[in-house]
Amino acid sequence: MLRLAALWLAGVCASGCAFMNQSVQLAPLPSFTERTLAPRRVVLRELVDARGDTSRVGVVKNGWGMETASVVTPDELPGAVSDALADSLIASGWTVVRAASNAAVPVPRGEDWVLSGWLSSVMSEPIMGVWTIGLRAEAELTLEVRTASRLFRRTLRAFHLEPDNLVCFAGCVEEGLRAALSQVVHDAVKALMELSERVPPQSVEPAPTLLYLRLEALP
């Protein structure tokens, strides 16, 4: 009986808070160190935000599963992911030069790379059960690697599921989103290390012209 009363009270509280936006802090993100056999010198251009609403990172639902408010963040997430990527690559033995997202940078020579990309999704959504609430968080990041003669592109998606919560307020949402963002950074670092080992160094260098890359937000 006491358990049923507690569940009813939690549902009432959750419904009462369901009409208020929840704010979460997602930066800074942790860095990771990976084993590397082919360290590179890379120019990392700041990631672009390709999301429609750059402050909204989730939805709030009431007890009947209807969206009633948003989860928002004041953090500039492409910058936070860029920082975590740079710190991770440096910790793994790479040389990283930072550049603005719209900067003209030299064409990569030899083993050097130019790394660009965009953040296309950061979102959390509660999954309403009969007695408990689950939380599903996701992050999606696309990276482009420009070598001296080739262009590689890869999209990485990370998901985090928090099942069976009695209630799930801002702290729960923040934990899930940070886990998804951290995972996509970790996956990106591992993918870059694997690509570095798979792609041999270039023996022919291009003419010393400037390469201007502007990423367009995908629909």
Domain ranges of the chain: 2-212
pLDDT of residue 51: 96
Q: What percent of the residues of the chain are helix, what percent strand, and what percent coil, each to the nearest 5?
A: 25, 35, 35
Residue 22 Ramachandran class (φ > 0 left, ψ -120 to 50 alpha, else beta): beta
pLDDT of residue 17: 58
Beta strands (DSSP E) in the chain are 22-23, 41-45, 48-49, 56-61, 67-72, 95-99, 104-106, 113-128, 133-146, 151-165, 210-212
pTM score of the predicted model: 0.81
Q: To 5 degrees, how large is the angle CA 116–CA 207–CA 191?
A: 30
- How are beta strands 104-106 and 210-212 bridged, if at all? antiparallel
Q: Is 8 helix (H, G, I), strand (E, B) or coil?
A: helix
Fold adopted by 2-212: Rossmann fold (3.40.50)
Contact of 136 with 61, CB cutoff 8 Å: no
Residue 50 burial by Cβ neighbours in a 10 Å radius (0-12, 13-18, 19+)? buried
Task: Of 187, 96, 179, 190, give the one whose Cα is nearest residue 138.
Answer: 179
pLDDT of residue 129: 67
Residues found in the chain: 219
The DSSP 8-state label assigned to residue 197 in this structure reads: H
Contact of 110 with 147, CB cutoff 8 Å: no
pLDDT of residue 133: 78
Q: Enter the tokens of residue 210.
A: 């400037």
Torsion sign across C-alpha atoms 33, 34, 37, 42:
negative
Intra-chain end-to-end CA distance of the chain, in Å: 51
Phi first, then psi: give them for residue 199, nearest 5 degrees.
-95, 120
Task: Of 191, 181, 156, give the one whose Cα is nearest residue 30.
Answer: 181
The pLDDT tens digits along the chain (219 residues) read: 434 333 333 443 443 456 788 999 999 999 999 988 889 999 999 999 999 999 999 998 876 767 778 999 999 999 999 999 999 999 999 999 999 999 989 888 888 999 999 999 999 998 776 676 778 999 999 999 999 888 999 999 999 988 756 566 678 889 999 999 999 999 999 999 999 988 865 443 444 444 444 544 444
- How are beta strands 151-165 and 95-99 bridged, if at all? unpaired
